[in-house]
Amino acid sequence: MTSSRSRNLSRLPLREELKGQEPYGAPQLAVKAMLNVNETTYDVPADVVDAIAKEVRSAAAQLNRYPDREFSTLREKLADYLNRDLAAEGEPAQLTAENIWAANGSNEIMQHILQAFAGPGRSVLSFPPTYSMYPLYARGTYSEYIAGTRGADFTQTPADVAAQIKEHRPNVVILCSPNNPTGTALTLETVEAAYEAALESDTIVVVDEAYGEFRQTGTGSALALLPGRERLIVSRTMSKAFALAGGRLGYLAAAPEVTDAMRLVRLPYHLSAVTQATAVAALDHSATLMANVERIKEQRDRIVTALAEMGLHPAPSDANFVFFGGLHDEKAAWQHLLDDGILIRDVGIPGHLRVTAGTEEEATDFLASLQHFISGVTT
């Protein structure tokens, strides 16, 4: 925002907590490799594009009518998709449409959760460095934001998470797994410990699994912990693994009473017919889209190995990105990469940057450019 626009904004009667704030956002530049916002950089496959176009065309014929307020077909397909995810881990298929809620991106999912369970006089706890929108969700719902802590390696243990929940007694605690920006995942034991601690203060526990499809073999999903835990919510998105960032579809799985709570705060007909049609078509072609997930995971693991060979310090990643440290001047490295047409993310942590795992060609270009920078600054 320009200085003149900021001055003009400051003249408006803004809420006090909004004065002097900057909007959330990342650079959107026309470069050959946009590896800064964790999108799937593969194009949407042609057969999926055709299927989406067919569904949207059908929906367009009825745009004079409001969409299905309960988005029933979408909820059923999301439940089926998550049940397949559970079955792949040897867990029983247990979810129905009654367990599912969806909204315009996981951002609106989080907003609904906080509108229902946080708000004035209530608090939200998360554990920085983590997704930078969490404090903004709290601010937007007049909730107190509490910044917890992590270990020196950015990981979290069951005992530490439980202790912080017991200390702060928040109304909502958000656990990000895999965590953004570090890529580190929580063990299910950590989620269980958080939930047990949260019972002492009637706390809702949210596990944000936006990058869940990219997790390593053996890393469990909190979906398996839902039975018998009415105050546990698992949030997912179609922006990442489904290559649907432009479609804006997030969703959660939880006890049916949680989805009933979401109905109390949603806006009328909040999911458009076009959004529903797009998501349904993508879910019908999930196998095609998941093939790209495996390719992305291969490049992620390749990047981790190559960065370590450069003498840098990549964090173990269960996501579609790699967070790495060991840079003497992360801003100079970021600029060098940008000069080479490669945009990655400066997450504001000294000595660290984050790169999305894209195509094989994008990974090759990124690694070559970074190696050239390191060779230049170390000779």
- The residue range of the domain holding 348 is 26-45+288-378
| Residue-level pLDDT at 343 | 97
Domain boundary among 284, 313, 342: 284
Domain boundary among 262, 284, 306: 284
Per-residue pLDDT of 307-321, as tens digits, reads 999 999 999 999 999
Nearest in space to 224 (alpha carbons), one of 89, 79, 78, 101: 89
CB-based contact 238:108 (threshold 8 Å): no
Q: What average pLDDT does range 212-225 have in this prediction?
A: 96
Residue 379 has pLDDT above 60, yes or no: no
Per-residue pLDDT of 5-21, as tens digits, reads 778 888 899 888 888 87
Q: Residue 251 pairs with which residues in a beta bridge?
A: 102, 236
Structural domain includes residue 17: no
Structural domain includes residue 336: yes
The answer to whether residues 372 and 249 belong to one domain is no
Q: What average pLDDT does range 222-231 have in this prediction?
A: 97
The answer to whether residues 94 and 133 belong to one domain is yes
- Whether cis (ω within 30° of 0) applies to the bond prior to 170 is no
Domain boundary among 284, 310, 327: 284
Per-residue pLDDT of 68-91, as tens digits, reads 999 999 999 999 999 999 998 888
Share of the chain above pLDDT 70, in %: 98
Give, to the nearest 10 degrees, the angle between helix 286-309 and helix 46-60.
Answer: 130
Per-residue pLDDT of 260-277, as tens digits, reads 999 999 999 999 999 999
| Residue-level pLDDT at 1 | 59
Q: How many domains does the chain have?
A: 2
